[in-house]
Structure formats: structure tokens, C-alpha cells
Amino acid sequence: MVAEVLDGEALAFAAITMLRKCCNHPDLLRLTDGEIPSDELFWERSGKFGVLKELLELWKKDGHRALIFSQTRSVLSMLEKMVGGFGYDYFRMDGNTSIKSRLGWIDQYNDPKGPFLFLLTTKVGGLGINLIGADRVLLFEPDWNPASDAQAKERAWRIGQTKEVTVYRFITAGTIEEKIYHRQLFKQFLSNKVLKDPTQRRFFKSNDLRDLFTLADDDGESTETQSLFNTQALTGIQATPAEETTEGGEGGEGGEGEKGGGGLLAQLVDNRGTHSVVDHDSIVGADLPPDKDISQP
């Protein structure tokens, strides 16, 4: 289908949607909306779900509580089946959740003895959801619009939050998700140039349709994101605390470092085969060398 898009014989949006589904779980290509896999071990067919399982075990052991965001209800349903199957207590909120139920669940979750997890779609509820009971936020998939991800993660950064909040992003290396993440960063750079620092130097990759369906050569050591932004991957031993981290995984895996997080990175990167872990703040905040032209593929 990708070849048909590049030849102008198929709709690009449909192909992008299919590629994004592959990054989250291959079963999404065969299931209709609202369906979830019937088998109990469905999560093993997705790298993202496999790493999430490891991450949840570590969070639960260390006494953390987490918000998990997805963009679609179908992915949220898969997440719900997975966490429910492992016996975790949770709440779920999406566009079909009644207003009456939402307020009660929010109050219960913010209680120190509230559920371990809260599963949400990124755009549910607008600005009226304050979930300060969580100290971990996971963005299961990137959005084209950086404001959508920012609004989601900031649900835990509200007045009354007394804990340090760590944000994680799952990005499948060498796929359409890296392309989406790049465009999200470019939009953030442009916003910063207009609103914060007019002298900031950023060079933007042309928003070319062909680039969305073209991958850089894989050297087996770095991802396209690392090469594009001249960023080094964090390792399991050398990792330093990061407020927010992104990653790329072979087959769709991901994980990120906790505060003092060498141990967590070592377990996720070494044991699960995760490709790399990249510090999001270092990409957004660091000064790129002048005249660094990345406008060509």
C-alpha cells in the first residue's frame, strides 16, 4: 500500500492510519472498532505491550501510580484488557464516559489509597481533569500536535501536586511514529521561536509526503531521531534523571529511566531488547549548531 501512495494510486491518510496501527499492535489491522483480541496472551505480539508489562511491574513494586494515555478507544480497550488480566486496579475514561462518573473517579484516584492506574484517551475531558494522585505519565503513542501530548501529561502537573512527575513516551524506532515525533518537535521549535526566543536557530525538514514513507538507512546503532538531532542515546548505566524521555524500540518497544534510573534502563534496554532511550528535553532545549541544514531527506 505504501508503494501505491507514493505512486499516487492510494490515499495517504489511510496508509498512515494502517502504519500507526502496526506500531501499537498488529491485531488492530484485522479487528473492527471496539473489538479486542480474544486470547489472553495477545500483548506478547506487540513490543510496546511487552515493555509496558515490565514497566508496570517496576512501578507497582516501587509504589508509583500512573496515567496511561492512548489516542484511540481501540488501543485503550487493549490496554484495559491487559492491565485487568494482570490484576491491577484501574479506572478508564474516554469520550463515552459519563460526566457523572468522571468526578467521582477523579476524587477516588487522587486519594492516596486510590487505584494504581488511570487509562485515558489524550483528548478526553479538556482541562477539567486534575489527576495529582499520579507521579508517572505514559504517552503510549505520539500525536501530530504537541499541544495534545502536552495537555495529556499536564493532567498530573496541577496545583496540589507534591510529587516529582516523570513522563514517558513510547515511539517505535524506524517507523511512521518517528516521523510523527519529528514533526511534533518541529512545531514545538516554531512555537518557541515565535513565543519565547526569536533568535533560536532551528532548521525544519520539509513536510514532504514521500518522507513519511521513507526510512533512513539502519546502521543498527542509532535511530533516525538520534541522527537527525545529533542526540546520544542514554544507556542503562550512564542514565541521568530526566523529566521526560522518549525512546525507540525494535518492533515497537519502549522504556525510560527513573530518577536515579540506571537500574530501570538496564532492565528494559538490556533484557527486553529495546533499541534506545532518548532524552526529550535535551532535544527541545539544546542549541543546535548554526547552519545545520536538515531540509533534505
User: Considering the chain, what percentage of its residues have pLDDT values greater than 90?
Assistant: 27
Encode pLDDT of 35-70 as tens digits. Answer: 888 898 999 999 899 999 999 999 999 999 999 999
- Domains by residue range for the chain, with CATH: 1-297 (3.40.50.300)
| Closest listed residue to residue 151, CA positions, set 132, 125, 177, 170 | 125
**pLDDT-wise least confident of 77-86, 177-186, 246-255:** 246-255
Residue 197: is its pLDDT beyond 80? no
User: Cα–Cα distance between 116 and 134 in angstroms, integer?
Assistant: 8
What does the radius of gyration of the chain's CA atoms come to, in whole angstroms? 19
Higher-confidence residue of 75 and 235: namely: 75
Residue 138: is its pLDDT beyond 70? yes
How many other CB atoms sit within 10 Å of the CB of residue 9? 9
User: What is the pLDDT confidence band of residue 257, given thresholds at 50, 70 and 90?
Assistant: very low
